[in-house]
Structure 1
Amino acid sequence: MNSIVFVLVGTQHPGNIGSAARALLVMGLARLRLVRPHRFPDEHADAMASGAVDLLRRAEVYDSLDAAVEDCAWVVGTSARVRYLGDEPLLPEAAARSLLDAAGKGATVALVFGCERTGLTNEEADRCHRLTMVPANPEYSSLNLAAAVQIYAWELRRAAITPQPVAARSDETFMKGRFRAPTMEQMEQFFEHLERTLIGTGFIDPTNPRLLTRRLRTLFNRARPDLNELNILRGILTSVEKPKHRTPRTKGPARTPPSASSASVRRPPPPDAAGAPETADGPE
């Protein structure tokens, strides 16, 4: 639970920040990050935080979502609507399980909430590995920001108190950590490398990329490659950018059987040669 970060982007009302802090503390969560809050610190935030003012004081403030999640290996964004692109949004329970699974491998993970009026923009949603949505009343799905935070905080606590099997790769020391989940910064470096390579091969038109890069993001976010696999993928991209001409490996010089006329050949004697008698001219 200490590896889970709640990120609020562009929060307009400071009271929602305070209420969110209170919701986190009640469920045993303690990490809050704010991206471009309209007013913070603020007395309304302190008032709504109630006994969670200390948590509020520890909240980290960032200028961009990229900076807020760059150290995170798994990022889930909340959405109030189904997006045209990408996978079907996770239900809150599944989102909580995915966050805890990633956090159990020693990684920092994040759950991101957009501002009250517009939610996450498409660009902000692109920075998330998956999206999640509360299946609210379709005729009135407007959910208060702090209430949404409370729902997910509870789902995380409920999932955390349920015993789960531990895989060998969840140990950070396993194979020197080469199978750990890559951070968001490492994934962004991979996406930049991928786009640069595809532009270089002509597969992507840089003046009209359309939706291809976003679909590729969805594909690799769904696959969730570990750090070792990500390095393999980047190695493949590098080999496309700078091909290596390797010499085919041989098995050594071919061996040819000696000829029958070779002087080095010693023919075995006939079976009865050892007991053959000598002639007048000497032994044959």
Structure 2
Amino acid sequence: MLDNIQIVMVNTTHSGNIGAAARAMKNMGLSRLVLVDPKADINEEAIQRSSRAEDILHQAVITDTLEEAIADCGFVVGTSARSRNIPWPLLNPRECATKVAQAAGQNSRIALVFGRESSGLTNEELHLCHAHVHIPTDENFSSLNVSQAIQVMCYEMRLAAISEGGDQSSADHPIWGVDWDYELASHAELNGMLQHMEQTMVDIGFLDPNTPKQTMARMRRLYQRAGMDKMEINIMRGMFSAVQRQQASLKTAESAEQDGDSH
């Protein structure tokens, strides 16, 4: 399970936090660290704060965007301390660990995404996540350092990984209660389907691209909540392609009819 989890840090500004995050990960048996457009270097301070977890730092993957970082992930969770305009599935750390274990049981890669030290994740970044996780701190002193938040989440991941008995939270418990026939769709596959859907909705006149409002954000929430597998993605895209072909045929027929009338 733990090998399937990657910790993603977005726009981190302090090298010490990167090092402390690596230490927290190694304490709990995680090893995959992804840095999205970091504003700090992996320098001597980071290495010192890692406390002999520099192997994680040296193997860290650096990407330009969050979408690139999570492209091959089937389950993505973003940490958030704030309520949002559109409600999103919200988990506490233990509930999150159970969902992660189930996704890992489907051989999916999982991303736990942590935002900027000063402002966390943006709404747009949180919309890329299947669910959000909130660490229930004291209301009078709720701010957590990003490396502390990573420590909490890594601890819960480890508990879930070693869990045994009747709590059904171990990685070998299928996410739907039975062995599934196809792997969960990756973020890139789901994103491709949503872009295909958006274009189809524009083509048939359902969606005005100039005033989209929150339509696509709500559609993203719907399909991420469904936990689609790869075959389901292919079916949906096949349906959108058929709709687009039908729409194109209608437009061709209308154009031919208009040409005929003009003669």
- What is the TM-score with the length of structure 1 in the denominator? 0.80
For residues 199 and 13 of structure 1, the distance between their equivalents in structure 2, rounded to whole angstroms, comes to 43
Show the counterpart of 1:131: 132
Gaps of 5+ in 1: 246-284
Alignment partner of 1:190 is 2:166: no
- Among 228, 234, 239, which residue is 1:225 paired with? 228
Aligned-pair CA distance for 1:140: 2.4
Alignment of 1:6-21 (within 5 A): 6-21=7-22
For residues 73 and 114 of structure 2, the distance between their equivalents in structure 1, rounded to whole angstroms, comes to 15
Residues 116 and 123 (structure 1), Cα distance of their counterparts in 2 relative to 1, 3 Å cut: same
Gaps of 5+ in 2: 165-169, 250-263
For residues 141 and 168 of structure 1, the distance between their equivalents in structure 2, rounded to whole angstroms, comes to 32
Aligned-pair CA distance for 1:83: 1.4
Show the counterpart of 2:105: 104
Question: 1:99·1:110 contact (CA, 8 Å) conserved in 2?
Answer: no
Aligned-pair CA distance for 1:138: 2.2
Show the counterpart of 1:213: 216
Partner deviation per Cα, 1:168-212 (whole Å, 9 max, x = no partner): 98999x75xxx1101111011011001001111111110010111
Show the counterpart of 2:257: none
For residues 166 and 138 of structure 1, the distance between their equivalents in structure 2, rounded to whole angstroms, comes to 35
- What is the TM-score with the length of structure 2 in the denominator? 0.86
Alignment partner of 1:240 is 2:243: yes
**Identity between Structure 1 and Structure 2 (%):** 39
Partner deviation per Cα, 1:131-171 (whole Å, 9 max, x = no partner): 11111122321111110000000000011111335449899
Q: How many residues matched?
A: 241
Question: 1:82·1:88 contact (CA, 8 Å) conserved in 2?
Answer: no
For residues 142 and 90 of structure 2, the distance between their equivalents in structure 1, rounded to whole angstroms, comes to 15
Moved over 2 A (4+): 163-172
Question: 2:21·2:150 contact (CA, 8 Å) conserved in 1?
Answer: yes
Partner deviation per Cα, 1:93-137 (whole Å, 9 max, x = no partner): 111111221122111110000010010011111211111111112
Structure number with greater CO (CA < 8 Å, separation at least 6) is 2
What residue identity is the alignment partner of 2:118?
R
**Which structure has the greater CA radius of gyration?**
1
For residues 79 and 168 of structure 1, the distance between their equivalents in structure 2, rounded to whole angstroms, comes to 24
Q: Supply the RMSD in Å over aligned alpha carbons.
A: 2.1
Alignment partner of 1:144 is 2:145: yes
Partner deviation per Cα, 1:256-284 (whole Å, 9 max, x = no partner): xxxxxxxxxxxxxxxxxxxxxxxxxxxxx
What residue identity is the alignment partner of 2:214?
L
